[in-house]
Structure formats: structure tokens, C-alpha cells
Amino acid sequence: MVKSFEPRLGASSFESVVDMWHHRIGSTPRETAFHYRLGAAWREMSWEQAGEASREIANGLLALGIKPEERCALLSETRVEWILADLAILCAGAATTTLYPASTADESAHILADSESVLAFCSTWGQVDKLNSIRDKLPKLKTIVVFDGEGDGDAVLSLHDLRLKGAAFAEAKPEAYRSRTQGIEKDHLASLIYTSGTTGVPKGVMLTHDAWVYEAEAIDALRLMTPVDKQFLFLPLAHVFAKVLEVTTIRLGVPTVVDGDADQVAKHLTQTSPTFVAAVPRFFEKAHANIIARIERRGFAAVRLFNWALDIGKRVSALERAGEPVSIRLRAQHRMAERLVFRRIRQHFGGRIRFFISGGAPLSKELAEFFHALGLLILEGYGLTESAAASCVNRPDSFKFGSVGKPLPGCEVRIADDGEILLRSRGVMRGYHNLPKESAASLPGDGWLATGDVGHVLPTGHVVITDRKKEIIVTAGGKNIAPAHFAELLKARAPLVGQVLVHGDRRPYCVALVSLDEEAAHRFATERNLPLSLVALSRHADLLDAIQRDIDAVNRTLPSFETIKRFAVLPEPATVASGLLTPSLKVKRGEIESRYAELIDDLYDRPIA
């Protein structure tokens, strides 16, 4: 068993997230809490201003009769109003249920009905219309609050009107807010977050106030960041990964750039110059592809210079990670590479990045090594919705690429006899909402959480995840294969590849279904005057040959039974909109294998050359 590492946690400082929030407001009232965009301009909001807004919204909820631990839903893009509404829900003693803005009407109906949400915050009238289309399925939903636009004078209120209602309520009942917040206890429900549903219907994970307080305290104990840092937060706040960043920055007083415009991340990074950014691996895969494409567009000389610099950077990185000295000559070459190449690349990320945090899915070791050679450190972490996100994380002074780091203070890790990773901490969920059997299966007893992930612990204490327990492939020859390993290697190498699904359970060998990265595929087709449609490209010999070369290169690094013998390119992108990815960008294995069953069978019907 691996137990929590120093520094250990003492007794909790706060009874609830609300206590922590009030402490932050009182400690640094005039310091900047959030940077956000209003039109094209960036604005700032102090902790005091944020506190005033959340208090007015909370009083508005009390005026509407919201009861303790009742669920209020949030259906919105990442924006500062999301955070204010979330904190207001907690201050009203209620619990937040989250929905992704891309959720379909049916998905929204399931979550809102299962959670018994009585109120929903929506970012726009487009989201309001989505909920109005399913109101007959939501008998508990009484009120909708819209961030942008006016209310309808009936069941839809504008956020502005809710704040006015809250101000009037506070004047009439000045003790109501204090009474409600003081009644919040650490084991009260704070969040009902639904799993992404890769293998079935999403389950509602019940997380308490103490779970979030624990996460904030544990990360604070690591001293990863301080108030002089600046966070850039663009992850969907409906996901547990972003939620843990929200509570942590409250605990630490770190100013946060809140910006959910995923298409403008690169531009906004250069405008705001953050010191750390959290992202999912797909962000780094696309950034890697964009760096390579940008260099190649500059011609042969630029490519040659970049490759020289990258080689120098990788050599220095390897030596430093091994604790070995760097020669005077190599150090001088590295300074030259810094001046000519690396510094310019880092400017595309704002120029001040101390580290990135990667989570939500496995990060390729090769990708981490690539960015570290450029002077950009990616700290991979690990956790589940069921553990309130962070359970393990690499540290700037103790990181190992290919691992998810060491357990957070106060978190224990145990490896079961079958290789499954078990976690125990104050962050572990109360259970699944309305699902006692599933709760019992995931919570085997004594505070442990069965993660469903398979892995091991290195002698250094770093945890390595190898795959999902349910997704281990057992071939017809009896070989056990972790499909995520090949997918990581190929995505790190092949810019044309968006997502990879390896198939081979009870089959004689493994095959792969590959989706295209739309941006890279469009660039590939334009440069070669090929058809631009994905359907045509998915069958074009030039593109298939390019991907085959990358697959062959990966295959050469693997034992024969793990290699991909055949592949096919999907005629559609793997996206949330296409139904092939979850809102948290995980591959829906069952959906892809069902939709493309004939294509998979065809890969096995033809003899291997």
C-alpha cells in the first residue's frame, strides 16, 4: 500500500466550501479574483465584488424558496457567471448539478429528472429553449435563470432580475443568509456531478462540502501555486477537473482568467499571460501538431533548425531528469536553442507558463518529453469524478513522465490482487444518486473507492495507470492488451489522427478504427490538392499511406501481439456532436463498435498479407 506523502494534512480549516469562500472574501477583498471578457475587452472582478454577486444570487434563491441540499442545475459554457452561480447555490445551502452545454435534450432530461433539480441556470436562450422542449419530463423544475437576455415574465428569470430579487429579500430578511450558511455541515451534499457515460447511462456522483475542502487543502499543502500566479481556466466547468480548480484557487487566492471560448484559447493565452493552465491531453496533442505544422510552413531551413534545437532540448531534459550533469558545451548549445527556437514557441502560450496540468485521460509520455524539451513542463495528474478529481499528481520538484504522480496528502492508494487501483481519502464520494447497488460495487468498504483503473506503483511512489479494468482486451490467443497504450503512442506521433479505438477482444489480432483530426486533415488535403471532405479523405490512398507509416513506426516499438494488423479511417470526426465522444472527450467504445460493426468485421474478413 502507498500511503499519503508529506506534508500531511492536519484538521480541516473549514466546515464547508461556503466557509472557505467567505474566508477568502474577507482575507483579500480587493485583490483580483477573476479576469473575464465583456465583448472584446478583458475585465477584472475582485473577491469582494464576486462575494457581493454570489450573495445577491444566493438570496435570490432563498427568496424563491430553495431548500437545503435541493439541486440547482447549471447548463452553461465556462464563464464567470457559472462560478458565481455555483457559489451562490452552495451559499443557499443547496447542491449544484452540472450539465455540459453540448448536452442533448434527452441527456439533459435524464440528468435533470434523476437529480430532481428544481431550478436551472442557463447561459443563453438557446439553452433555455432546450429545457423548455423537455419541460413535460421535468415536473420538479420550477424556475430557469438565464445569464444573457431577459426573462419571460413567468418561469424564466434573468440573472439581473434574480439579483434584484435577492437584494430585496436581504433587506426584508437580513438574517436569512447567515442562518442558512451557518447551517451547512461538512457532510452536506455540495455537488451532484454525472459521469460522462462511456459505458452506459451517466450516474450522479454525490460529493460533499468536505470532499471539496479536502481537495483544496491537499493541493494547498503541495505549494504548487501561490497568489502571485495566474490561472487560465477554459475547461468545461461541468467537469470535475475544472471544479477542483475552482475551489483550489479560492483556497489559495489565485486570480483566474475564466474563458470558455475553446476556439480562441491560443489568442487569449497570449493576451493574458498565465503562469499555469490545466487541460486534457487532446489540448497538448493539437498544440504539438500545430507547432510542427507552423515550423514546416517556414521551409527546410526552419525545420532543420527546429530539429537541431529539439534534439538539444531532449538531451538536456533527459540529463536533468536523471539528476546527471549537463556539459558546458551542451549547456551553451541549449542557450542558443533557447534564444533561436524555444523562447519564441513559448510566447504562443503567453510566455510565462511555469507548468501545465494534464488530466481527464492518459497523456503520452512522448508528448510530455517533447514539451519539456521546449521548456514547458506538463504535470500529469489522476482522479475520478468519484474522488472529487485530484487523487495523484506530479510535482515540479518530483515528476516522472509516464506516471500520474504521487498521491495527494491525505490520500491512500492500494493495488488490488487483480491490479485494480483503490483510493481512500476525504474526497471520495458519498455514493451514486439513487443507485445503491452501483454504489456498493464501487465502495467496497472501509472508505475505499474501487476506481476501475488498472496500474501499479513505482518504487519512487509514483502511480502508473495502464488501462481501464473493463477495457482490457483478451485476444483469442489469451494475450492481455491495454488498448490505451497504442492509442497514446499513435496520437502523439500522427498529427492526422484525432482519436483511436483499438479492437481485438476474443479476436485473433488487434485492429484500429481511426478518426481524423479535422484541422490537420484539411491542411493535408489542401497541400496535396486532395478532396476536402472527410468521407473522401478517409478512403484516399495518400492519407491512408501516411497513417500506415505512423502505425508501422509505433508497431516497431511493441511486441507482436500488441501491434495493429489493420486499420480503417472513420468517415466522420469523433466529436461530441457526432456522438462518438463524451462531453469530457472520452471515446464511446460501445457506440463506435456498434455503429461500425460491419467495418470492424471487414478488417478481420480479409487475409493478412
Q: What is the pLDDT of residue 6?
A: 40
The residue written with cell numbers 504539438 in the block is: 288
Where residue 476 falls among pLDDT bands split at 50, 70, 90? confident
> Is 8's pLDDT higher than 80?
no
CA of 22: how far to CAs of 144, 268, 501, in Å? Answer: 27, 30, 46
Q: What is the pLDDT of residue 2?
A: 47
Q: What is the pLDDT of residue 130?
A: 96
For 64-88, the pLDDT digits (tens) are 999 999 999 999 999 999 999 999 9
CB 245 within 8 A of CB 231: yes
For 497-509, the pLDDT digits (tens) are 999 999 988 788 8
Kindly state the average pLDDT of the residues 272-300. Answer: 93
For 343-368, the pLDDT digits (tens) are 999 999 999 999 999 998 888 899 99
Where residue 198 falls among pLDDT bands split at 50, 70, 90? low
Mean model confidence pLDDT for the chain:
93
Q: What is the pLDDT of residue 184?
A: 97
Q: What is the pLDDT of residue 5?
A: 42
Phi-psi region of 585 (alpha: psi -120 to 50; beta: other; left: phi over 0): left
Would you call 228 helix, strand, or coil by DSSP?
coil
> How far separated are the first and last CA of the chain, in Å rounded?
47
Side chain identity at residue 469, one-letter code: K
Distance CA 472, CA 591 (A): 17
Would you call 384 helix, strand, or coil by DSSP?
strand
For 22-50, the pLDDT digits (tens) are 999 999 999 999 999 998 899 999 999 99
Q: What is the pTM of this model?
A: 0.86
Side chain identity at residue 358, one-letter code: S
> Is 587's pLDDT higher than 80?
yes
For 507-533, the pLDDT digits (tens) are 888 999 999 999 999 999 999 999 888
Sheet with 143-146, edge to edge strand ranges: 156-158, 143-146, 119-122, 71-75, 95-99, 189-194, 204-208, 431-432
Where residue 108 falls among pLDDT bands split at 50, 70, 90? very high
For 357-413, the pLDDT digits (tens) are 999 888 889 999 999 999 999 999 999 999 999 999 999 999 999 999 999 999 999
> Is 429's pLDDT higher than 60?
yes
Distance CA 242, CA 296 (A): 34
Domains of the chain: 31-184 (3.40.50.980), 472-605 (3.30.300.30)
For 136-182, the pLDDT digits (tens) are 999 999 999 999 999 998 899 999 999 999 999 999 999 999 999 99
Q: What is the pLDDT of residue 502?
A: 93
Q: What is the pLDDT of residue 582?
A: 81
Where residue 483 falls among pLDDT bands split at 50, 70, 90? confident
Q: What is the pLDDT of residue 37?
A: 95
